Homo-oligomer: A and B are copies of this chain.
Amino acid sequence: MKHKKPPNRRTRTPMWSGARASQTRAAAATSAVSREATRVITNADPGQDEVAMIDSGESATLHPLTCQEDNRRLRDYELRVKGAFARIVPTLKSIAARQYEPDFERWAIEEARALLSVELPGDALANIWLERLDMRRLFAHVTFETFRAMSGEYFERDPLDRHGRAQSFRDFLLECGFHSMNVTPCSDGRLAHTISYVLRLPMGVARRRSYAGACFDIEDAVQRWANVELGRFREGVPNLADAPTRYLKVVNYHYSSRDPKRQGCAAHGSDTRRAAEAGLEQLQAFRRAVENTYCCGASIAMLLIGVDTDTDRLRIHLNDASGGANLDRFIDVGEIYGATARLDAGSARTLIHERIAAASADGSSGPVTGMQRLIACLIENNLSQIDYVRTYESGQYPDVGHEERFIGVGADFEEVQLRNLTYFAFMRTLEEGAANLDVGIKIFRRLNVAHGLPIPIVLRFDYAGQVPGARERAIERCARKAEAIAKRYPDLAERGLLHTLWTVHDSSRAGPIECVGGSLQSHGGEA
């Protein structure tokens, strides 16, 4: 599980390298699951600067405020889900190799059940005496089934315990003076674990709206603000409209400490300063929009944070006198980690609060009390995540680049809470979101198509179950998007190198997603 010296580059061996094919059978065992999910080092050139100071291994001393139990639970979840995806190619390879042997059909179905927990479609196996197995379709089928299993588990068994922590965090937010918290990370797959891992917040209470470059849609944000306000006025949810609390908008930009000029935010040319500036501008524009659109002191609270995608450590920008974030004044949680690692828990907490309060004493106004409490909470949460990366990734992720397993198109995928699993292209229509998807397709041409594998695309549209016809319109939207995608990349679609799974989700209840169709006929039939 440990790489003492993390590499700068790696290849995604489990997906196509022949070198490990012989290990496939063994992968059924739990230990092998972990091994499959582990990154294979092909270039042992270590990033030196920041990594050297950090120990690795679970046995290493943890920060006094780190919640080891949470880390173990989160790690188990990550290995389990990523392991399931990592097993797909080796397993399909071993199946492909035996397709002309006697009793193949029965054997293959059992093998897929045992190693992948997936049912292979009988019709795909029945005719192999006539033609070779269509491994591309099988790969897409198994990828989609693995996604479905992951999604089902998330909504039905709550592996990240969001429900358990929801009420206490909701109460805490209100105590801090915020009746709503909406976080916009970049849609980069390396930020997909922001809510549940980097910030350790219960998804649902902290709402997520990812956008490329964290440049969220202002009109959409104003509409969400208005909907929250109406809920307070009409229903007193989460509190009455005259309570002196605010709507908190958080922008989460990102950078790479190891390779800042190449592995930062692509939307901002890997320029950390520009990424932060853009986030701040967007926050200010949103605030002005709310203030100018509504009277009676309507406004929002803002928080700008940055995350180092190599170590998951946070920068939390402090607000200046005008209430807006200051680009140059921020608390670096990595630095806090170093300063408090050898203290006891109480002293560490005290020092954290002092650091935040000190920011208020340097001439400009620091964050107000409620915001200070929230920032202290985020810092403490992030300390656990720094230890997570130290413990399980030698302090720095080995995968600096893209390693996603599928593309998610449409609305937010609440169930995707893992780093580098999904490339997101959020959009209402391809006409407006094509640029994002083009980038994703380019990445997957390298990750998958170059190795003969199709690109699995999961479509997602949410609907309000209480609105008549909304589900049908969400399904239509899936169909329209799938058609537009096939039209935009005909070279892939016509060669079977692009497959879609259509999913919709009733946003009015906590139930699972529904698969309503797709380019593999059988998915449509199952819906």
Contact = CB atoms under 8 A, between A and B. Distances in A.
A192 to B, nearest CB: 26
B295 A469 contact: no
B229 A296 contact: no
**Pairs of residues from A and B, 9 with the lowest C-beta to C-beta distance, nearest first:** A292-B466, A285-B468, A233-B233, A289-B467, A429-B429, A429-B431, A431-B431, A230-B230, A288-B468
A26 interface: no
Given A218-B473, A226-B230, A235-B295, 10 more contacts: A218-B469, A219-B470, A230-B230, A233-B241, A288-B468, A292-B466, A293-B464, A293-B466, A429-B429, A431-B480
Nearest to A289: B467
Contacts of A469: 218, 285
A441 interface: no
Contacts of A425: none
B218 A467 contact: yes
Contacts of A226: 226-227, 230
A128 interface: no
A234 B469 CA distance: 31
Given A235-B295, A293-B464, A470 B429 contact: no
Contacts of A241: 233
Consensus secondary structure, chain A interface: helix
* This protein's copies in its complex: 2
Interface in A265-292: 284-285, 288-289, 292
A432 interface: yes
A318 interface: no
A484 interface: yes
B429 A296 contact: no
A428 interface: yes
Interface in A319-374: none
25 contacts: A218-B468, A218-B470, A218-B473, A219-B473, A223-B223, A226-B227, A226-B230, A229-B234, A230-B230, A233-B234, A233-B241, A234-B298, A235-B295, A285-B467, A288-B467, A289-B464, A289-B467, A292-B467, A293-B464, A428-B428, A428-B429, A429-B432, A431-B480, A431-B484, A432-B480
A218 B468 CA distance: 8
A504 interface: no
Contact of A467 (B219, B298, B466): B219
A74 interface: no
A296 B233 CA distance: 11
Given A226-B226, A468-B285, A468-B288, A295 B234 contact: yes
Contacts of A222: 467
A459 interface: no
A294 interface: yes
A430 interface: yes
Interface string A457-501: 000000010111110010000001000100000000000000000
